[in-house]
Amino acid sequence: MATIASPMEKGQAPSAVRTRSTVEAADIKAGRLMMLPALVIPIFLAMVFFYGFYLTLRNRRLNRGDLGFVGLDNYVKLVQDDKFWHSLSLTLKFTLVDVALELVLATLLALALSQPLRGVRIYRALLIIPLMTPPVVGALVWKVLYRSGNGGFFNWILWTLGFPMQGFIGDPQQAIQSLIVIDVWLFLPFVAIILLAGLQTLPQEQIDAAQIDGASNWRLFWQIKLPYLIPFYIVAMFFRVIDSLNVFDTIYGTTKGGPGDATRVLAINGYETAFPFYNISYGGATFVALWLLCTVAGSLLYVWVKRSQQD
């Protein structure tokens, strides 16, 4: 049985017996001790993160070494950089379209898979295949399909049917849409299995009662299923929004930000600046900006997840 529940809401049972409090104090101490080993590496990484922030306050070049402390110069440069604003708006658009498409399509998929169909188990098993594919390999797989000329699969179909062939990832006008298709293909099943898990716990009595009242499937969806699924949507959004803001692999595996700057999202922009162009401090500043964006979005969604689970 699937339920949505957060550990937080369970609350501590008030210790009724006095003598238990000493046991509890010992438990708390032991608990903290057990946390320690797992905390060592994250604490170290948190320090690494601060060192990374410090690096953005200097002018460090991979090819020329450390050129001194520059304060907030890299950030001032960032807000004046057209490339940064371009990649920020591209990232936001990518995330919005990507997540919206996934939510809508996953709803349809989950509704279909929640029906008592024959062979539904096979469908559900097939569902996770793209999900287990490394995004960078998924991107390569699509690169094969998107190949230009009538040697490429999609273009061959268009050519055979007498339509003009398209550039797909090679065309600045189509590149970002073509990449969204790849990302939706990779992660639509992720959203779908979450919603499916939700639908499977929907109390059957509610559906039966509505059906006896003569509710159509349409009304059944809008008035019973959808409201019930809201917490599941929020969980799915939490992961998908963050991962879409950070998208890198799918784009690096296909267009590397091109053609031109057509698919230069924030992560690609920061990577290009930091590594191929050696400006590790300025690239780092881009990622601090992205981190800020993800942390704000992530925290808001986290609070939303918690609140929706308490209802």
Q: How far is the CB of 239 from other proteins (least distance, A)?
A: 7
Counting contacts by CB under 8 A, is residue 35 touching other proteins? yes
- Interacting residue with other proteins among 21, 42, 64, 260 (CB under 8 A): 42
Single out the segment in contact with other proteins by CB under 8 A; choices: 70-78, 94-102, 167-175, 264-272. Answer: 264-272
- Say how far apart CA 81 and CA 102 lie, in whole Å: 32
Find the shortest distance in angstroms from Cβ 264 to other proteins: 15
Q: Is 152 one of the binding residues for other proteins (CB under 8 A)?
A: yes
How far apart are CB 160 and other proteins at their closest, in Å?
8
- Which residues, numbered 203-242, are part of the site for other proteins (CB under 8 A)? 214, 216-217, 232, 235-236, 238-239, 242
Name the minimum Å distance from CB 295 to other proteins: 7
Q: Say if residues 116 and 202 touch (Cβ distance below 8 Å).
A: no
Cβ(165)–Cβ(149) below 8 Å: yes
In the complex, what is the shortest distance from the CB of residue 100 to other proteins, in angstroms, rounded to a whole number?
18
Rounded Cα distance, 239 and 257, in Å = 23
Of 78, 88, 179, 194, the residue at the interface with other proteins (CB under 8 A) is 194
Q: Taking the complex as a whole, how short is the minimal distance between the CB of residue 290 and other proteins, in angstroms?
A: 5
Picking from 203, 229, 240, 197, the residue whose alpha carbon sits closest to that of residue 100 is 240
Rounded distance, CA 251 to CA 268, Å? 8
272-311: contacts with other proteins (CB under 8 A): 274-275, 280, 283-284, 287-288, 290-291, 294-295, 297-298, 302, 305, 309
Member of 159, 228, 277, 278 binding other proteins (CB under 8 A): 159
Structure-token match 């790849």, residue found = 182
DSSP annotation of 162: T
Q: Which is nearer to other proteins, 176 or 270 (CB)?
A: 270
8-27: contacts with other proteins (CB under 8 A): 8, 10, 12, 24, 27
Shortest Å distance, C-beta 224 to other proteins: 17
Q: Which of 153, 149, 130 is nearest to 250 (CA)?
A: 130
Amino acid letter at 290? L
CB 148 within 8 A of CB 236: no
Binding characters for other proteins, 73-92, by CB under 8 A (x = yes): --------------------
When the beta carbons of 176 and 285 are compared against other proteins, the nearer one is: 285
Sign of CA dihedral 71, 73, 74, 79: positive
Query: Of 104-133, which residues contact other proteins (CB under 8 A)?
Result: 108-109, 112-113, 115, 117-118, 123-126, 128-133
Nearer to other proteins by C-beta: 85 or 153?
Answer: 153
Residue 189 CA to residue 147 CA, distance in Å, equals 25
In the complex, minimum distance from the CB of residue 5 to other proteins, in angstroms, rounded to a whole number: 7
113 vs 176 by CB, closer to other proteins: 113
Give the C-alpha separation, 221 to 132, whole Å: 30
**ω before 259 within 30° of 0 (cis)?**
yes
- Specify which residues 279 forms β-bridges with: 61
Q: Which residue has the tokens 């295949």?
A: 129
Contacts of 244 (CB under 8 A, 6+ apart): 94, 95, 98, 99, 183
